[in-house]
Amino acid sequence: MKFSSASLLLAALAVAACDSKTATLGEAGTSSATVEAIAGAPAEAGTSGTSATATDEANATPAPDPSAIPASSTGNAAAILARPQVPILCYHQIRDWTARDSKNAKDYIIPVAQFKAQMKMLADSGYHTILPDQLYAYMTTGAKLPSKPIMLTFDDTDLDQFTVARPTLEQYGYKAVYFVMTVSLGRPRYMTKAHVKQLSDEGNVIGSHTWDHHNVKKYQGQDWVTQIEKPTKTLEEITGKKINYFAYPFGLWNAQAFPELKSRGFVAAFSLAEKRDQNDPLFTIRRIIASGYWSPRTLHNSIVQSF
């Protein structure tokens, strides 16, 4: 089997996609506010807790279009920062480990059974998935969220997100956000345009994750077109919907990126565990990488401690 250098690069990116330490607690502790709903104990695997159902509250709650929310709300950083953070999990590959997977890579590769156990724990613990428009309305206006809200995000377009995560989430009535890097669409082991379209049609949200995963902090001039404008337009053509949300490759950002993203129609952007920008929290929404090493209980503890 022959590999082009591009596909080797993609393979390398796939496991090195986000280089933040998963267990970093970020700004936990900087705010006394904690989402009360997440403070409870996790449901034990195997117990029949209050599972979310296919008609869970989250999906029944309509969220306003972000463009309907006035600048007086979206520009009020202090009010946004004062609200408790909603836990957001970031996943990459969902597959069993092989002998070739490095120790570090395994943070980004979650074995199938481990992933299923994590989702079952969330459902048994009563978590409801929310989508970015709901989060945006909550962050900017304090709009009500379902009980025990959580957001699930999947980066880098890996095929197993469609073949493994999607049916698992479906069992619990969960929806998610898929941050797509467009260079990988249709390549072996990655999703196709049809997969992305189907995820979108089924009520999930597609977000932009650049063309080929280059670090936003290094963009100059035409890079904004190549990495942001064109791929986002591609995703809008695939889904038939406006793309409002962006995730930084490797979670890396700087303040210079905010006006560039805003001028290209984004209303919010997602980073990883580091502290939020104090002037622009909507463009540094925190997520934690749910490690392949984490049992359901460890995941629950991380959720409680990190947000």
Binding site for Zn ion (CB under 5 A): 17, 155-156, 249
- Span between the terminal Cα atoms of the chain, in Å: 45
What is the smallest separation between the CB atom of 209 and Zn ion, expressed in angstroms? 6
Helix (H, G, I), strand (E, B) or coil at 245: strand
Q: Which residue is nearest to Zn ion (CB)?
A: 17
What is the smallest separation between the CB atom of 200 and Zn ion, expressed in angstroms? 19
Nearer to Zn ion, 75 or 186 (CB): 186
The angle at the Cα of 131, spanning 300 to 58, to the nearest 5 degrees, equals: 75
Nearer to Zn ion, 141 or 210 (CB): 210
Nearer to Zn ion, 127 or 246 (CB): 246
Separation CA 56–CA 58 (nearest Å): 5
What is the smallest separation between the CB atom of 271 and Zn ion, expressed in angstroms? 11
Nearer to Zn ion, 127 or 253 (CB): 253
The β-bridge partners of 91 are: 154
User: Is the CB of residue 253 less than 8 Å from the CB of residue 276?
Assistant: no
Q: Packing angle between helix 112-124 and helix 296-306, nearest 10 degrees? A: 60
The Cα-based distances of 133 to 23, 31, 89, 177 in angstroms read 27, 24, 16, 11
What is the smallest separation between the CB atom of 201 and Zn ion, expressed in angstroms? 23
Nearer to Zn ion, 79 or 252 (CB): 252
